[in-house]
Amino acid sequence: MTDRYAVIGNPIGHTKSPLIHGLFAEVTQQDLVYTAIEGRIGQFAADVDAFRAAGGRGMNVTAPFKLEAFAYATERSPRAQMAGAVNALKFEDGRVIAENFDGVGLTRDVVHNLGCPLKGTRVLVLGAGGAARGALLPFLEQQPATLVIANRTLEKAEALAKEAAAHGPVSACGYADLEGRRFDIVFNATSASLRGELPPVPASVFEPGALAYELAYGKGLTPFLRLARQTGVDRLADGVGMLVEQAAEAFAWWRGVRPETGPVIERLTVPLT
């Protein structure tokens, strides 16, 4: 019997997840079907209940339901606990097991696909929202020399840094406090690029030879990546690798086999021009 999986979000028409998981199933010869569900606002639990009742084995969760998925779960991984949000669910014997693979996928893309180790580096994360929260624990597990969270609202960044402090060298600051500081890897985890805007980060934060990583994907050369290029940075990346790698983590969690990601990343990559 074919196993059922899905991604739930609202809106959901833009999602690449059915394509990605369909390709994974094909290359790993897994008997499954993966669909997209446009969840009803205020009816997340009912929609997931219906999917489970119809034989669903697992789900990916995207905006705006990641917090509701956290509340819906009966068991949560340490990564999900740290993020306070969930992007993958597994249904087993009445249990709802929750994970957050966003930060794991991002870390794997940077370290393995881009060949940029985080160990011993100076890391800057712009933004203190859900994307930053999901990335912190996987980042700190890589043992960077320092990790700085910069945010418009300093108190929000400080609270996040305090929560993660037990896991490694993390601190917080406002954007103005970045003047005169340089970093080896700079992640834009803000939503600015989705609006075609630039976060108020000084161009001086990029160390020569730095990696500038835009968590948004499929947007081409965003204002953040353009700023990095103008300062001489030639190592630019967007979040397509993160998207595919987090999907591969969920697929392996559900099916016990991890698919190759390179061909799928190549297929979905939009040139940074």
Q: Which of 66, 90, 119, 219 is catalytic?
A: 66
- Between vectors from CA 66 to CA 65 and to CA 67, what angle results, nearest 5°? 95
Q: Which long-range contacts (CB under 8 A, 24 or more apart) does 42-46 make?
A: 44/8, 44/68, 44/69, 44/72, 45/72
Say how far apart CA 157 and CA 129 lie, in whole Å: 9
Residue 49, classed as helix, strand or coil, is helix
Q: Look up tokens 């712009």; give the residue.
A: 126
Letter for the amino acid at 72?
Y
How many CA atoms lie within 13 Å of 73's alpha carbon, on the beta-carbon side?
Answer: 26
- For residue 5, what is the DSSP state? E
Cis preceding linkage at 11, omega within 30: yes
156 is catalytic: no
- Catalytic positions, written as ranges: 66
